[in-house]
Structure 1
Amino acid sequence: MGSSRRSTAISHRLRVLGLCFALAIGGWLTGFAATLGVELHALAAGYDIRAIMQIGSSVAFNVVGAAGVALTYLIVRRNGFDLPFALEFLRIRKPTVWDMLWIAVGLWGAFAVVMGYQVFIEFVDPFGTGGEGETHSSIEDGRQYPSLFLVAIPIALFLTGPGEELLYRGVVQSRLGEVFPSSLAVLLSSLVFAAVHLPVYMGEEFGAVLVSLGTVFALGLYLGILYELSDTLVVPALIHGGYNALVYYSNYVTYA
């Protein structure tokens, strides 16, 4: 009897893990399809302005893709949109002064995590790349057209951070946390978060790709821990958005 129960529990956990991977991949594929649709419509309408394409693509990817899949999951799970359940499940509440402190300190902590990871990778050099990773595709585009960085800053704050955190921390990590210990849920959701970023870091040198995915994993792990400690999605959402915005601003100052 005990063996049967353990087998059932393991099977249930594997199904939940598979569901979370499916949601993450589904969010990316839905966002990609929506992005392609926006770009094709913009081109068909005669628009060839990169800033407009950047706005349209980001809205499609983060709102339709990440946030859209997250909300669809919540609706399907409850057979309709149950707002009290959604707020409790996602841990969304009115921010407090302590939350603002979490965000202020946590934002700089995100940069400390990335720099610490980079120092470690350069020292160990496990992939033989000298610690060098691939550049995110949006950063590459922005370095050729620096004005795109200015467009990307508000998008990062209001769309990318909240949209991705809604799916990867709010839904994926919370759902995993229902069947796994919190620490393991954080770890697994970070792996999912890193895995779905593979397409934007694809390059010729696989070792460099792994270095970059390691950065994403480290950030995901950090955001997941903050989500558990602060017990509100607002904290990782704003830190994620703020981190991306500062990266874009730094690149704008450098390449403009």
Structure 2
Amino acid sequence: MWFIVSLPSEISAALETRRGRRVRAAFAGLGITVSALLAGLIGVVLTGGLVSVFDLAESPVVRVLQGNYIQVGFAGFAVAYLLWQGDWNRYIKVRWPTLEDLGWIVGLPLLFAVQGVVLPPVLAAVGLPHPQPGTGMEELALETRPLLWPVAFVGMYLFAAPAEELVYRGIVQGRLRAVFDTLGVVVLAGLLFGVLHFLVGLMTQGVSFGGSLYWGIDTVIPGLAWGYAYERTENLVVTAVTHAMVWTVTLHEIVLHALPI
């Protein structure tokens, strides 16, 4: 009789403990997101200040990378977090790409190209304008400036994208993975990635609230895709390379030019 009475309360206590751990992990993910954003803003201010001091704002080399100042702060945050936690193997998973990894590297940009064609008209139909902060990078025409390709490769592929991926796939998903299954990790991390870009939009000059919301929604899909790819491959190389490709390879524009629309 005692067993029958006590069993429900024991199950309830166990469930409450699991629920509590998940809630704490979700808030930890949000805290990491906000902290990384604050660190990113500090990176923007410090890097922009150095560029101004040395009068490099008009340098083509600097202009190629000016959209990636925030990743300087991300890198600093990631290093500080890893030093604090000490468990580097939990958060940094990197190896040479396998054939499956190469499949993801080829397939993810194609998915993002489809998103770039399909999603903008949908968001425009509900009244969300495309954010256009006007960084000046559109004037560089990187595809016609091959001498700048090494700069873009080093700055974006070897630094900026790995720094951002280390924070959101490595640290955030590594934190969530302790208490959530794959679906929970991917969904929560993808939503937090969208929240990050929504907040960045709010802080970007020339981007309205609607544009910020557009930015947030537009980045949830890549966040989910990168999150699932990372859970499958456990290789930050896959997500870092495809992340940098989003910045440098405009497949969706090629598709739009090819389609009779």
The two structures share one fold, judged by TM-score above 0.5 = yes
Give the equivalent residue in structure 1 for 2:31.
22
Q: How does 1:104-253 map to 2 (within 5 A)?
A: 104-121=106-123, 125=125, 127-129=126-128, 132-135=129-132, 137=133, 140-143=135-138, 145-146=139-140, 153-154=152-153, 155-202=155-202, 205-247=208-250
Q: Distance in 2 between matches of 1:209 and 1:38?
A: 23
TM norm structure 2:
0.76
Is this contact kept in 1: 2:112–2:252, CA < 8 A? no
Alignment root-mean-square deviation, CA? 3.1
Q: Distance in 2 between matches of 1:21 and 1:34?
A: 20
Q: Distance in 1 between matches of 2:18 and 2:238?
A: 32
Give the equivalent residue in structure 1 for 2:103.
101
Give the equivalent residue in structure 2 for 1:81.
none
Is this contact kept in 1: 2:230–2:236, CA < 8 A? yes
| Residue identity (%) | 23
- Counterpart of 1:115, as a letter, is V
Is this contact kept in 1: 2:93–2:170, CA < 8 A? yes
Is this contact kept in 1: 2:25–2:175, CA < 8 A? yes
- Counterpart of 1:178, as a letter, is A
Q: Deviations over 1:129-148 (max 9, x none)?
A: 4xx4223x3x54323x4368
In the alignment, structure 1 residue 6 sits paired with structure 2 residue 15: yes
- Counterpart of 2:120, as a letter, is Q
The alpha-carbon deviation at position 180 of structure 1 amounts to 1.1
Q: Deviations over 1:60-85 (max 9, x none)?
A: 521x322332232222122xxxxxx5
Q: Distance in 1 between matches of 2:68 and 2:127?
A: 37
Partner of 2:136, secondary structure, is helix
Cα pair distance change 1:148/1:51, threshold 3 Å:
farther
Q: Distance in 1 between matches of 2:77 and 2:218?
A: 25
The alpha-carbon deviation at position 241 of structure 1 amounts to 0.8
Partner of 2:249, secondary structure, is helix
Q: How does 1:17-56 map to 2 (within 5 A)?
A: 17-49=26-58, 51=60, 53-54=62-63
Partner of 2:250, secondary structure, is helix
Q: Deviations over 1:98-140 (max 9, x none)?
A: 3223212222222123333335445xx3x334xx4223x3x54
TM norm structure 1:
0.77
Point out the more displaced range, 185-194 or 207-216: 207-216
Point out the more displaced range, 49-58 or 223-232: 49-58
Is this contact kept in 2: 1:35–1:56, CA < 8 A? no
Q: Deviations over 1:181-200 (max 9, x none)?
A: 21111111111111111244
Aligned length: 237
Cα pair distance change 1:232/1:47, threshold 3 Å:
closer
Is this contact kept in 1: 2:101–2:233, CA < 8 A? yes
Partner of 1:178, secondary structure, is coil
Q: Deviations over 1:83-106 (max 9, x none)?
A: xx5345433222223322321222
The alpha-carbon deviation at position 242 of structure 1 amounts to 1.0
The alpha-carbon deviation at position 238 of structure 1 amounts to 0.8
